[in-house]
């Protein structure tokens, strides 16, 4: 490690956090219940998702599954529905799997340490450090993109963070974290990165660790860290069908190996490549595209042009299609992509569910 900043930073951050922390529902719930479950759920939901998007989903989820054993006993589909709109479903599938592993323990006991949490499905270094410190007081520092940015600026490191730097920052965080207040330190450094040491134009004038910051002293806050190469997007053409039978819409389960949203219940979907359609659920399907409208949508690094089609279903009933009254369809659709297609269809066809 090239340079370890003043160890006093840890206690300065803790004092700042204790005076300025935001009233977030998972903090309040943990304070009241002491249940690690409420911290774990928040940490999984917050992965790659903004706090604003998580807030309503978090309350809804805990209303449906208030305790670990409720989640473990739920069906995969019920879990997907409870997490709808948050994207990146794999993390919720793994969370459900981890809940089942934990609920099967006889006698039941929570993992307590970073190492124990790390062994569960879907729990990486960051999440294991966050839960074991916040819920069990282990002095293990969190390092995520926000923390990397704060540390790069503290040390004026004008580089793109890589794995080697991440390891250095983990060691640095583990030195800075005060043994007496690991939960507050970790939440402080995350909150500093989210609210003060933000990507563009950090708010140095109100930063509690300004005196320690080399980038502030050099005026190079916007150079550290160096920007990553912009993400390269892939264009995708997708077709979604609104199958209508009476006042109902037909939903199908996408194949587990579908390229997008595998295993979700949604609208029949095909991807177009070189003029050919490739179906995202088991067939056979032989619809011709006849678009009523289109919209744009992004999933990770894919820019999707989605074409919406309508088709009256005149065929025999099929056990592969779930018919849902139009007014209930919204609540059955897990992904934003399907919901956007449904809204477009309702608007264009002037149907009122
Ligand atoms: S002084 Fe500015 S650049 Fe340095 S840590 Fe604080 S907010 Fe970030």
Between 232 and 182, residue with greater pLDDT: 182
pLDDT tens-digit map of 297-308? 998 899 999 999
For the domain covering 234-349, report its CATH number.
Answer: 3.90.79.10
Index of the ligand 1 atom closest to the CA of residue 207? 6
CA separation for the pair 62, 70 (Å, rounded): 10
- Candidate CATH numbers 2.40.340.10, 3.30.70.600, 1.10.340.30, 3.40.50.720; the one for domain 8-218: 1.10.340.30
- Mean pLDDT for 316-323 is 80
Least confident window among 23-27, 215-219, 257-261: 257-261
Pocket of ligand 1 (CB under 6 A): 150, 153-154, 196-197, 202, 204, 207, 209-210, 213, 215-216, 221
Least confident window among 57-71, 79-93, 154-168, 170-184: 79-93
Least confident window among 69-83, 84-98, 233-247: 84-98
Residue 157 alpha carbon to ligand 1 centre in Å: 13
Which amino acid residue places its CA nearest to atom 1 of ligand 1? Answer: 210
Which amino acid residue places its CA nearest to atom 2 of ligand 1? Answer: 204
CA separation for the pair 234, 253 (Å, rounded): 25
User: CB burial class (10 A; 0-12, 13-18, 19+) of residue 309?
Assistant: buried
Check: pTM over 0.85? Answer yes or no: no
Domain ranges of the chain: 8-218, 234-349
Residue 5 alpha carbon to ligand 1 centre in Å: 13
- Mean pLDDT for 151-180 is 97
**Using CA atoms in the order 298, 304, 309, 314, what is the torsion angle rounded to 10 degrees?**
-80
CA separation for the pair 260, 299 (Å, rounded): 8
- What H or E segment, with its residue span, contains residue 58? helix 51-64
pLDDT tens-digit map of 188-197? 999 999 999 9
Q: Is 5 helix (H, G, I), strand (E, B) or coil?
A: coil
Index of the ligand 1 atom closest to the CA of residue 149? 8
Residue 232 alpha carbon to ligand 1 centre in Å: 30
Please indicate whether the domains covering 8-218 and 234-349 agree at the CATH topology level.
Answer: no
Residue 197 alpha carbon to ligand 1 centre in Å: 5
What's the DSSP call for residue 204?
G
> What pLDDT score was predicted for residue 1?
45
pLDDT at 339 over 50: yes
Residue among 9, 153, 154 to mutate when testing ligand 1 (max atoms within 8 A of CB): 153
Identify each DSSP E strand in the chain by its residue range: 234-245, 248-253, 265-266, 269-273, 276-279, 291-299, 302-312, 322-325
- Mean pLDDT for 151-163 is 97
pLDDT at 288 over 90: no
pLDDT at 88 over 80: no
Residue 164 alpha carbon to ligand 1 centre in Å: 22
Index of the ligand 1 atom closest to the CA of residue 192? 7
Which amino acid residue places its CA nearest to atom 8 of ligand 1? Answer: 197
Q: Is 168 a catalytic residue?
A: no
């Amino acid at each position: 490690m090239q340079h370890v900043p003043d160890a006093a930073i840890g206690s300065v951050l803790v004092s700042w956090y204790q005076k300025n922390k935001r009233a977030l529902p998972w903090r309040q719930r943990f304070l009241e219940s002491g249940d690690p479950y409420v911290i774990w759920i928040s940490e999984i939901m917050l992965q790659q998702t903004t706090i604003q998007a998580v807030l309503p989903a978090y309350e809804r989820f805990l209303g449906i599954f208030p305790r670990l054993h409720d989640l473990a006993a739920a069906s995969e589909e019920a879990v997907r529905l409870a997490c709808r709109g948050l994207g990146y479903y794999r993390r919720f599938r793994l969370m459900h799997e981890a809940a089942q592993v934990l609920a099967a323990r006889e006698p039941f006991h929570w993992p307590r340490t970073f190492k124990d949490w790390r062994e569960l499905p879907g729990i990486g270094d960051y999440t294991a450090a966050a839960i074991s410190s916040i819920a069990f007081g282990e002095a293990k520092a969190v390092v995520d993109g926000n923390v990397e940015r704060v540390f790069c600026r503290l040390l004026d490191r004008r580089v793109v963070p890589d794995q080697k730097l991440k390891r250095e920052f983990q060691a640095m965080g583990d030195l800075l974290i005060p043994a007496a207040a690991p939960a507050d330190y970790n939440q402080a450094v995350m909150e500093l990165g989210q609210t003060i040491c933000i990507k563009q134009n950090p708010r140095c004038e109100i930063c509690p660790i300004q005196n320690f910051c080399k980038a502030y002293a050099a005026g190079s806050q916007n150079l550290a860290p160096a920007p990553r190469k912009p993400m390269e997007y892939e264009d995708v053409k997708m077709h979604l069908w609104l199958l209508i039978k009476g006042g109902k819409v037909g939903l199908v389960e996408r194949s587990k190996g579908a390229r997008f949203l595998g295993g979700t219940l949604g609208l029949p979907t095909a991807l177009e490549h070189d003029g050919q359609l490739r179906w995202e659920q088991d067939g056979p399907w032989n619809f011709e595209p006849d678009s009523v409208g289109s919209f744009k949508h992004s999933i990770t690094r894919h820019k999707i042009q989605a074409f919406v089609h309508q088709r009256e279903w005149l065929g025999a009933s099929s056990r592969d299609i779930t018919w849902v009254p139009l007014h209930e369809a919204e609540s059955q659709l897990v992904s934003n992509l399907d919901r956007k297609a449904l809204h477009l269809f309702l608007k264009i066809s002037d149907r009122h569910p």
